[in-house]
Every structure is written in structure tokens, then in C-alpha cells.
Structure 1
């Protein structure tokens, strides 16, 4: 998708650079690595060359790196023009200070001064260093530049053994920051609420009624909404097999249909887009057993009652300007059933995906048919779920509403 220049500076967190390269590549990005002299103490340039399949950049005056031709002494200008994003991870206190004050004595600082493409700076250092007034002042100075974004460090165990703020931000957060920086802000100013995962309707403390949803599609939608510039992404999460990155989204645990319904009612009016990607149980138990039911060998009949229909309730109580997007997992060839569900529930759009080994629950891929209450019909062919999610939100952000 994009050309990313990864600048690795001399922090112990530089050992994570190969993982950053791989994470970006898995999202389809091409990566070139630039390693400062001090960073070479923590990560071997050869490792990054093998992973990126490109020469690793080191010296400002080199004439043979990154495909530069002999005698080309302006490689920092060529790099600044070629790349679409500059990710400095990890960024040491020394690097941050040099960039904040416009020093230009190596290749990384020269590229920084030469580019106006998005620059993402991910500090990594001991907590006391990170909190130092000089470091904080330098970060604030850099953040004032319109093309620069600071990716805050996480909290955890540091090289000293201390448990403090200062560790390099997690991989999903680094990748999300890059993708938000290079993506068109189609959802800028929008607040997005997404339901996720499979609800579990407990009959007794250990047994429940549920389904095979893993939350993969909801995670992909949340990541896509963030990348497209959403002001806030709030996920109401039932049981999922995937982890939602901390710090990117507002997360609320809603394990049952009733708890998801109550959480939805409490916040839905604050959001512009309501995306119903959770597989909410259609039924719940009429009576829940307070203790584990003992096996008796006799037949057992359980009574089920309808669970709350969150989408239908939302359609009946929506505020003006809200967009409602539902999902329907149906047998192949059930477009008519999906369209009837769209109209009966009162959604604006319904994403119909057929049940097959390649689509739907637990599959890494999906294919969708988008139907609207205004009569639109748009197909998204089989692709990985992150690709489908990005295509879906991009289309809906630009689609006519009548």
C-alpha cells in the first residue's frame, strides 16, 4: 500500500525493529530501514536487509545505498520525496532533541528536515528520562509541526527492570498510526460504535448458548475506521478470539446480549455510525441456574426466550444523521432474505455474507454484498477481512444516501 521509511535509533527497543518490519509488510507496505550508528549495537543491519530485501541506509554521504547511483549525494532528498511515511521507532531522547532543534548531522535528521510527508515518532526510554521536562518540551515542539505525530510509549517492564512508562508502543499501535497517517480522512469528525464477537447466554455458571464468531471482522472494521480518521472508535465486545489494541479504541466488555443491549442504549446517541458486527444470540434462557446442573441421565428440556434485538431497537430510536450498518450471515443465494431483513430491521445498509468455508465466522477472509434501504447493491469480492473492512467503510463514506 505505501512506502514506509523505518528509522531505528539507539535504544534497547531497537531489537524490535525486525518485528516492526514484518508487521508493516503483513499490511502490504514496503519498508526501507535506516539505522543510526548507535542502533547497530542493538540490531544487526543484515537482519533488516534480509527482511526488507533492501539495502539498509546508514550514512548521509553514502553513494551506494538504497539504489542511489554513484555520485548521488542528495539521497536524503530522494528519500524524502519517495517515501509516503517516516516512522522513527524507537526514538531516543537524543534523537528527539536533535529533531526538535533542527540539527542535521546524519541521514535520519536530514530526511526529517527534507520531508513534509507524515512523520510518526515513537519514543522509547526509561520513565524518568521520558518525564524529564526537556524531553517533554521537545516532544511538544515536534507535535506542533502539522505533519508530525507522537506515538506515546506504553507502560511495562523496562530495560532497568522498573515497571514504568517508556516502553516502545505495541506493534498494532505503531502500524495503526502509520495507516491513519497515510489514509484519506474519510471519517474525520465521525464517532463510530461497533459491536463485536459472540455473546454467551449462560444457563448455569459453566454452560452457555453461543456461536462461532471470533470478532475478526469487528476488529478489522475498528482498525479501518481508525485508519480513515474517525474521531473515536468504541467497541462493545462480547467474547472474541482476537485482541483489540489498547489505546486505539474505547472498549466495553459486554459478554451477554442483555449486557450489550444495556451498554448500547447508554451510549448510542453519542455516535454517528453504528456498526452491528457482533453475532448476538437470538435467544437466551428463560431461567438461569444459580449452580452447576448435575447430570442425572434423564432427558432435559430447556426453555428459551428471545434476546434483545439491538439493531431493530436502534432503528426505532435513532437520532437524525446516524448511519446504521447491519450484518447478515445467511446461506448462499439468500439475497432476498438479506434484503427483507434490511427492511424489517430498519437499517440503512446491510452487509450480507454467505455461509461458506471462505466467508463468515472464524474465516480470515470474507466476501460481502452491500444492500441499502435506498436500493443500492454493491459487491465486495473475496479478500482478507482487513481489506474487506477498508473497502466497506471507504465505499459507505462516499456512497449516496438516497
Structure 2
């Protein structure tokens, strides 16, 4: 778990969304983090310190002068203890205080005393959020190095529909992961990740596709972002997956030719391509303009070959590192090695999709990494994200080795 043993101070202000802090704290603990809470006096009117103490498993600080024996000189102890401060919900009041250097309660004083990253998650009425004073305060905070997570839009407690909703707790925890776990391994590098399947139309209703869920590719995009890269995610059909936080751009495509055009548009300027998408090798030679009726017992389709995206990239390769995938059911290493050489790849991830725990639809995968120099690295079954972390780590090492060779 990315947040294993990470120390999170959760600051809770007196907005109506304060009740969601309980869910945030619970999710943080489920992902391995240790959580300590600071509440403003107004927050305690909306959710009790007892609730937050039970969910976080730690005493809750409210007053500068209260009796919280866990902490020694409370605001200094918490300021030093934290790996990250998260203020959710962050009211206009706390944004204004910190932006202007006012430290007059436990929460604002502790924020001012910490050197840890601070993430504000504003939640308030739309008019209040869009007030030029609030906007200016947030701009000031950003200039000072604080992070602001954009609020969501939707139905607000005041009865209107607009911007100002607290983002979903899962989204907040994902953003916390990004802020506290991001490294510089691929800092300054531009990475293209392809994910999901492609669909080739037969008629306006039917298509040729595959079982790809997109989970492996989306996990790779997340891992590359956490390694500090500028990530372009090119996504085919998938299980309605959310874009990982920190992805610079997401391009949704339909067919193999659509995906090729998107990859080609960013390829020359990129440093690394990880092509995890399961593209259709063939397409209908003449898709029907109208739905094909089931008049005959047999339907014959004439197929023509799609362009081989990865092969084309290998032919054009200059400084880029190319990583491909091979989903096979027999002779996995043999076929994978042939693909690695034919397509001029630096590394290939070979999968036996017939093996239990591998394949398209699950949350786990089993990969064997084949390298251009002939090395073979066999991996055990693991989560797709754990495999993605390994792939990105190996890719970074290949990039570093190539750079050393040039130097």
C-alpha cells in the first residue's frame, strides 16, 4: 500500500461537509496511513471529536490549551510528526487565515508551523468560492507552495447547483497519495501509456473487440505519474475507469487507427512509451452503413490488417524507450522474444493470459519481463499496480543506462 506508515494530519473545518471527514480518515487507515485529527471549534458542532477519535484511533486536538496528553506542545509536535497536512473541508475562513499569516487557533497555528506538504480541499457555497477575495487567497497560497484541490460541482447543501462540493473521499485520498508518494525517478520525462482495447465497427451496432479492461494500462499511468513523469494516457475501451490523479492529458480513442494517430501525435517528443493496450489486429474491410440483418445462417466478414502501431514506433525510434506487451496462451517466452526483436523494443512484458490470476478482467497479473539484451525476469502473481510499479522502475533504469551511455 502506497500510504503504508505515512503520517497524515487531517484538519477539519466548520463546513457542512465536515461529516465526510470520517470517511476520509477511514479510507486513509484502510490504505495503511496513520491519522491524527485537528478540528476547529465550529467543526465540533457538525461532527464530534469522539467520532474522529474512534475512526482515526488517535486523540483529537481542538484547543490550543486543551488537555490532549498525546502531544507535547501540541502544534509543534503535530507539525513535526506529519508527512502531509490535509485540510478537508477547507473553509473560506481557514484559506484566508493562512494566506494572511493569521495563526489564532490550533489548526491555523499548526499549519503555519509545519514544513510538511499542505493540501487544502475547499468546500463552500458557490458564490463564496467564486468571491474574488477567496480566489485571491487561494492564488496567494499556491504562490507560497500550498496545494489546492479543486472542488467538485453539483447539488450543494444551500440548495443550489454549482461549484463548491467537497470531492469524493476516494478522490481526496488518491490526491493525498500523489502528493506524499510522488518521487523524482522520471522527473522531466514525457511518457505515453496506452490502455484498454480498440473496437473496429462491423456496422453501426456491432464491432470487433476484445476483453481488455484497461486496468493494467491505467495502473501503469498511475505508476508513471508517481515516478514524477509527465504522462499522456491514450485510452481505448475500458471498464469506465477514472483517470489517475496527476495524468497530464487523457485521450480517448475508438479504433486502432485512432490510437495510432494519437500516439504518433506525441511520440517524437516523448521519452518512454508503454504500450499496454490490446489493439485489434484486423478490421472490417467495408463496415456496413446500416445494421446487418440476420437473414442467413452464416455471416462472412472480409477483414483487412490494421497498422502495427508498436512496429512503426520501433522503426522510427531515436532516443525513446519502447515497452510492449504480449498476451499469449502458448509458447509465451518464444513468441514474446520474437516480438521484442521484430518490433525493436527495449523491454517486453509477456503474459500467459490463460493462467489463473493473469488475463484481462482481473485485478492481478503475472508477467515475465524480456529485455533487449537477452535477460529474462520472471515475476510472481501480484496486483496490476504492483506489476506496474516494477515495469516503470525497470523502464527508468533503462532510460538512465541509455543516458549514461551517451554521456
- Normalising by structure 1, what TM-score? 0.89
Q: Distance in 2 between matches of 1:394 and 1:145?
A: 32
Note closer, same or farther for the CA distance 1:206–1:341 as it changes in structure 2 (3 Å cut): same
- Aligned: 1:152 with 2:150: yes
Q: Distance in 1 between matches of 2:23 and 2:119?
A: 17
Q: Answer yes or no: is the 8 Å Cα contact 1:176–1:226 preserved in 2.
A: no
Structure 2 residue runs of 5 or longer lacking an equivalent are 403-407
State which drifts further: 54-63 or 290-299.
54-63
Question: What's 2:14 paired with?
Answer: 10
Q: Answer yes or no: is the 8 Å Cα contact 1:177–1:227 preserved in 2.
A: no
Q: Distance in 1 between matches of 2:386 and 2:59?
A: 29
Match of 1:48 among 24, 49, 52: 52
Note closer, same or farther for the CA distance 1:12–1:227 as it changes in structure 2 (3 Å cut): farther
- Aligned: 1:218 with 2:217: yes
State which drifts further: 292-301 or 54-63.
54-63
Q: Answer yes or no: is the 8 Å Cα contact 1:176–1:223 preserved in 2.
A: no
Shift of 1:209: 1.5
1:243-282 pair list within 5 angstroms: 243-245=241-243, 248-249=246-247, 250-282=249-281
- Normalising by structure 2, what TM-score? 0.88
What is the RMSD of the two structures over their aligned residues, measured on CA atoms?
2.4
SS of the residue aligned with 2:140?
helix
Note closer, same or farther for the CA distance 1:225–1:42 as it changes in structure 2 (3 Å cut): farther
Match of 1:57 among 58, 61, 66: 61
Q: Answer yes or no: is the 8 Å Cα contact 1:36–1:108 preserved in 2.
A: yes
1:176-325 pair list within 5 angstroms: 176-182=174-180, 183-231=182-230, 233-245=231-243, 248-249=246-247, 250-318=249-317, 320-325=318-323
Question: What's 1:32 paired with?
Answer: 36
Listed one character per residue, the Cα deviations across residues 148-200 of structure 1 (whole Å, up to 9, x for unaligned) are 22222233332233333222234454334322322222222222221111111
Structure 1 residue runs of 5 or longer lacking an equivalent are none
Question: What's 2:339 paired with?
Answer: 341
Q: Distance in 2 between matches of 1:198 and 1:140?
A: 41
Note closer, same or farther for the CA distance 1:229–1:32 as it changes in structure 2 (3 Å cut): same
Q: Distance in 1 between matches of 2:269 and 2:23?
A: 37
Question: What's 2:132 paired with?
Answer: 133
Shift of 1:279: 0.9
Q: Answer yes or no: is the 8 Å Cα contact 1:172–1:245 preserved in 2.
A: no
Q: Answer yes or no: is the 8 Å Cα contact 1:92–1:125 preserved in 2.
A: yes
Q: Distance in 2 between matches of 1:25 and 1:337?
A: 44
SS of the residue aligned with 2:366?
strand
SS of the residue aligned with 2:301?
coil
Q: Distance in 2 between matches of 1:28 and 1:280?
A: 36
Listed one character per residue, the Cα deviations across residues 235-259 of structure 1 (whole Å, up to 9, x for unaligned) are 2211110322387432222111121
Note closer, same or farther for the CA distance 1:131–1:185 as it changes in structure 2 (3 Å cut): same
Note closer, same or farther for the CA distance 1:115–1:217 as it changes in structure 2 (3 Å cut): same
Note closer, same or farther for the CA distance 1:161–1:377 as it changes in structure 2 (3 Å cut): farther
SS of the residue aligned with 2:58?
coil
Q: Distance in 2 between matches of 1:239 and 1:165?
A: 30
Match of 1:20 among 17, 24, 28: 24
Shift of 1:328: 1.7
Q: Answer yes or no: is the 8 Å Cα contact 1:122–1:168 preserved in 2.
A: yes
Q: Distance in 1 between matches of 2:28 and 2:351?
A: 28
Q: Distance in 2 between matches of 1:207 and 1:367?
A: 32
Q: Distance in 2 between matches of 1:145 and 1:383?
A: 41
Q: Answer yes or no: is the 8 Å Cα contact 2:282–2:303 preserved in 1.
A: yes
Q: Answer yes or no: is the 8 Å Cα contact 2:368–2:377 preserved in 1.
A: yes
Listed one character per residue, the Cα deviations across residues 287-328 of structure 1 (whole Å, up to 9, x for unaligned) are 21111111124222222222221111111123x322212112
Note closer, same or farther for the CA distance 1:221–1:125 as it changes in structure 2 (3 Å cut): same
Question: What's 1:365 paired with?
Answer: 364
